[in-house]
Chains A and B, each alone.
Chain A
């Protein structure tokens, strides 16, 4: 069965500092990996996705993520966070296509001045 682990429930980062959110997955085949962001009371916005090819993927809002098969990880990074990045971040894995996604428990990001 597929699963996603986000070890950090809550992270606090100073504005302008770098950010890394961890995601580890368990999947029997080549995974399709996603990072979503959710602002309070809102739906999910796709930040980036990995299907194949270059293991470093670029997304919106200056985010990037690196797929490391040997570590079963897909960590999200941003070199310099902005106050508007404060939100909940979810990592998800799935088989692709119109098949269901499995979500991690999320990491809440707080930005301090």
Chain B
């Protein structure tokens, strides 16, 4: 199993650009989530999904959209990038809600 994969590893955007961060898991997990981590801080939940077709907002959802058309994939879309969205983004999955989460390696995003 590859576990949780994220692409790209690094990305630089200009203010106002949009892009999609990809996340995929091959463990048939129901629950998937996106976090951001700013320098020296803990993780903050952006959006999560409890299954295909079901998504909900986390702690800091503004400026981000998600969709979950398949069990495997959970892309995160930045609508109009802002410097405040410069961060490291982590995707995670778990078998069911509340169980052990597996994290991807992260995407380091810089918005100039």
Q: Do A and B come from one complex?
A: no
Chain A residues engaging chain B, CB cutoff 8 angstroms = none
Chain B residues engaging chain A, CB cutoff 8 angstroms = none
